[in-house]
Structure 1
Amino acid sequence: MINQLEDIVNQSYNKLYAYAFRMIGNHHDTEDVLQNAILRACTKIDQFQENSKLLTWLYRIITNECYRFFEKIDKLPLIRITEDLGMSERTFFEDIHYIPEFDDALIMDEMREKCLQAFLKCMPKNQRICFLLKTCLDLKNQEIGEIMDISADNVKVTLFRARKHLKSLFEMRCSLIDPEKPCKCHLWIKFMKDNHLPIPSGYMQPKTELLKQEYFKNLSLLKKIDYLYTVEAKCDRDDFIKNLKKLTEVL
């Protein structure tokens, strides 16, 4: 059974990583959560009941391990800032006069990561889990229900509410979805620079901006959101497996 678990981790590592990252929001804790969850699965493998899939059982362990990192926010940072300044979001961005610099392109994706993570943190916990299990892992409703301990019908309702919630957040302000909306990544960069706020270090995604624009042309809103929620693993899969094997040797 341990060999089967190892095969699953090897085959599904990128999906597992993306799911945990979207639940937690940073790469360092994601690696710790995955490692702890898989070690827990190894030590409790004799408790696995074969009336469910081993992969579904592992997802549930990872979900439970993520719980202690959960964070819920009532307002997006943008809303808090504009309320403090006593102005609308559109006025806030219109007052920032800035032409993007070349270096800004290097940190755009990471800015979007932080923005997307903030949207997720505004969602109720059950909606966030349900949405990510479907989006990151492409699970069936029955499988999601087993992980969350709810019925498949309840999963369907929760997914509908989660997508509606997320869609409204994007449609309300994101210029990446609608160019007419006020919230633009390069203006956020300008605001953070002017106010001496920490700016992401920046990294280049394999997909170029031009390819993204072409990709977005023929996609619906929810497809765009699904695409944006793709995340590249920071920890190389082979290195992760090697480290995990070292730890399991002492169990």
Structure 2
Amino acid sequence: MIAEETLVNLLKQSDTQAKAFETLVDTYKERLYWHIRRIVLNHDDADDVLQNTFIKVYRNIDGFKGDSKLYSWMYRIATNESLSFLKSKSRKLGVNNEELQERMVDNLQADVYFEGDEIQLKLQKAISILPEKQKLVFNMRYYEELKYEEIAEILQLTVGGLKASYHLAIKKLEEFLKED
């Protein structure tokens, strides 16, 4: 695997940019897809957001200063693209965020790409009612197994705040699953 710093340098040079971008996509597409998918829940929507994410990365690579890791920067773009997509979708449908989340979870059963069982559906329903920040932190910590320091870099929040958000999310999920 190519070193991140080398990849960034190759991405910023016109003669090596195309091949370097291909390497970037191959390296990160699966991780970013699942990160996005946990936010937007639908496979087709996740594909669209992933494509938009890579377009933004490609267009803005010259603005990447290296203050964070490349994948943290891309995760931040993917997160922002996902949240913007959801806001746009809720506006188009004329519903608030809670109603949109409910519809998305209900549609999971019909999604041929969703391989979860009844327990996974209950967990997704529980996750969908969490506030946005808690949902992001829970997904990144639980599913993606990212360290708090990595999540802090991606979301540009403090580690202490993230730990509190994760703890609150766990408590709310436990309560929801007990009631259900």
Instruction: Note if contact 2:101-2:128 (Cα within 8 Å) is conserved in structure 1.
Output: no
User: CA 1:46–1:72 in structure 2 vs 1: closer, same or farther (change >3 Å)?
Assistant: same
Greater Rg over alpha carbons, structure: 1
2:116 partner SS: helix
Q: 1: CA distance between counterparts of 2:170 and 2:29?
A: 25
**Aligned equivalent of 1:72:** 98
CA RMSD of aligned residues (A): 2.8
Q: In 2, distance between residues paired with 1:108 and 1:6?
A: 29
Query: Could you tell me which of 46, 54, 58 is aligned with 1:30?
Result: 46
Unaligned runs of 5+ in 2: 1-7, 12-18, 88-96, 104-113
1:27–1:113 distance in 2 versus 1, CA, 3 Å: farther
Residues 125-144 of structure 1: CA deviation (Å, up to 9, x unaligned): 00001111212322221121
1:51 and 1:124 mapped to 2: Cα distance? 28
| Larger mean Cα displacement after TM superposition, 142-151 or 2-11 | 2-11
Distance 1:134 1:108 in 2: 21
2:170 to 152, 156, 163: 163
Q: Is the aligned partner of 1:42 residue 2:55?
A: no
Count how many residue pairs are aligned between Structure 1 and Structure 2: 144
Q: Percent of pairs identical after alignment?
A: 28
Q: How far is 1:149 from its partner?
A: 1.8
1:53 equivalent in alignment to 2:69: yes
Tell me which amino acid in the other structure corresponds to 1:60: R
Query: Contact 1:16/1:137 (CA < 8 Å) preserved in 2?
Result: no
Residue 138 of structure 1 corresponds to: 145
Q: 1-side partners of 2:142 and 2:47: how far apart?
A: 20
Unaligned runs of 5+ in 1: 78-106, 174-251
Select the structure that is richer in helix.
2
